[in-house]
């Protein structure tokens, strides 16, 4: 077939997608969680105090903060409800530990459907080894899904 | 005295779980387990055979 260099990606196609590898095909154009997630979401560590973290997040215009370790592996999540807790408490005690995380290749329209259905305002997007890519906001996901749907309609 | 964990069934596969994997609510009417959510969002492949063989 004329290919001179061929590789076997042993970890499989799902791992390739989860790592953000490029893809081709009919569904390659649809927006994915990793494209829409906000990489500038505030982060904090386990040992910080909630009051300082909440002030930092609010000053940056956020009502959420992702708790990560030094390798940016997600440990927990502070949504609006947690950020409004006791300012003196340690993050480790205040956070939602082990939140559900999603891979960057997940079609944003499908994730938006679940976020609406379950009334969840945001979701952390991570690589398959747990490193933070960004926080996907439900409104961003809906907007991206709607925009793609409209663009597809215009193209036909 | 310890309190028993609330149990809800996954709406997709029927497995008993402590709470919905997505919203974490123990009383979620459309609760979904980790496995079914991963498969639905194409983060994981479905099992080829129910019996695992």
- In this structure, are residues A36 and A144 in contact, taking their beta carbons and an 8 Å threshold? yes
Please list the residues that pair with A134 across neighbouring strands: A125
pLDDT tens-digit readout, A1-48: 788 888 888 888 777 777 767 777 776 778 899 999 999 999 999 999
A53: in domain: yes
State the DSSP code for A37.
S
Q: CB–CB of B41 and A114 under 8 A?
A: yes
- In this structure, are residues A54 and A90 in contact, taking their beta carbons and an 8 Å threshold? no
Residues 6+ apart with CB under 8 A from B6: B18, B19, B26, B27
- Chain A residues within 8 Å of chain B (Cβ atoms): 14, 17-18, 96, 100, 102-103, 105-107, 110-111, 114-115, 117-120
* Segments in chain A forming alpha helices (H): 13-18, 33-36, 50-59, 80-83, 91-94, 108-117, 138-155
**What's the domain range around A75?**
13-23+32-155
ipTM over 0.85: no
A92: in domain: yes
Q: A103 CA to chain B: closest CA distance, Å?
A: 7
Mean pLDDT over the full length of chain A: 90
Question: Token pair for residue B17?
Answer: 């779980």
Picking from A105, A106, A118, the nearest residue to B23 by CB comes out as A118
Looking at per-residue pLDDT, the higher value among A156 and A136 belongs to A136
A108: in domain: yes
Of the residues B24, B25, B32, B42, the best mutation for testing chain A's interface (the one with the most A CB atoms within 10 Å of its CB) is: B42
Q: CB–CB of A100 and B21 under 8 A?
A: yes
A3: in domain: no
A2: in domain: no
Give the total number of structural domains in chain A. Answer: 1
Integer Cα distance of A50 and A90 in angstroms: 6
Spell out the domain ranges in chain B.
Answer: 1-44
Confidence (pTM): 0.83
A5: in domain: no
A113 has a pLDDT exceeding 90: yes
Integer Cα distance of B49 and B32 in angstroms: 20
pLDDT tens-digit readout, B1-53: 555 566 899 999 999 998 999 998 888 999 999 999 999 988 877 776 666 55
Check which CATH number belongs to the domain holding A133 and give it: 3.10.580.10
The separation between CA B32 and the C-alpha centre of its own chain, rounded to angstroms, equals 4
């Amino acid at each position: 077939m004329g290919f001179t260099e061929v590789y076997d990606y042993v970890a499989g196609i799902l791992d390739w997608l989860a790592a953000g590898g490029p893809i081709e095909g009919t569904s390659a154009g649809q927006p994915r969680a990793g494209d829409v997630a906000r990489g500038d979401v505030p982060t904090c560590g386990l040992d910080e105090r909630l009051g300082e973290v909440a002030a930092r997040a609010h000053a940056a215009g956020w009502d959420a903060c992702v708790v990560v370790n030094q390798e940016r592996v997600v440990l927990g999540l502070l949504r609006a409800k947690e950020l409004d807790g006791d300012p003196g408490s340690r993050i480790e005690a205040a956070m939602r530990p082990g939140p559900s995380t999603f891979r960057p290749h997940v079609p944003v329209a499908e994730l938006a459907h679940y976020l609406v259905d379950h009334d969840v305002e945001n979701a952390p997007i991570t690589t398959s080894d747990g490193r933070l890519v960004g926080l996907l906001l439900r409104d961003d996901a809906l907007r991206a899904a709607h925009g793609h749907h409209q663009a597809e309609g215009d193209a036909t | 005295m310890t309190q028993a964990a609330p149990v809800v069934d996954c709406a997709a596969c029927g497995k008993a779980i402590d709470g919905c994997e997505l919203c974490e609510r123990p009383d979620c009417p459309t609760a979904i387990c980790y496995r079914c959510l991963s498969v639905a969002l194409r983060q994981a492949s479905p099992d080829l055979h129910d019996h695992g063989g």
